Structure 1
């Protein structure tokens, strides 16, 4: 099945995981979650920048794994996905995952958010989004992030 067109900007403010995130892999992971053409910027940042963005835009004063800034959903999905490298690395270690596999999950998760999926609105919405993430990730040959329960 052909995937929607993707224009991808990949930025590394924190370069420590650059080798784990080649453009072709990042594009593959994002495309797997897209239902429409998209222009997406992925920015890998340090925890300090991640914390500042989370505080300024969500009112939560800590670095989180992924932030999605969605601007349009139709006819083209336009979004920025910001991932805090240190948080991703720590979570991957806690979960016993390869860092790249955890990035794949978070990029799929953020891409779904950019298209209007939301797991914070209700338990039913969370279950639906998690099931779809699992379908996408296992289709990519990756782990089921919810096999042990919700993140």
Structure 2
């Protein structure tokens, strides 16, 4: 069995990690932690500093993923860690889950407020709507 923990690089990951570890132990499953650095979309023009900002973001996300990996190991579940970059974290999560035949996605939920909720949507909502496997949402 394969469990994918979708790591929110800027959210509190403790509850999500605790649940992913609990599920992995109870199901004797392999755990993969996927962190996606949401990069700026490609444009026709390369604005000064855009690639540097993306690189800095990727580095920050990598650090968070490595820290979460160490916590999982402390709890007795050594995970595989994948860090990707892209303009749509939900799509990265969905693609990885499908390509690697994940049985379960464990992820958190950050409530968006106001216009952000309607204009941007929610990574969690998109994953729930389109995932080919079960999704466990930790609040």
More RCO (CA 8 Å, sep 6+): 2
TM-score, shorter chain, exceeding 0.5: no
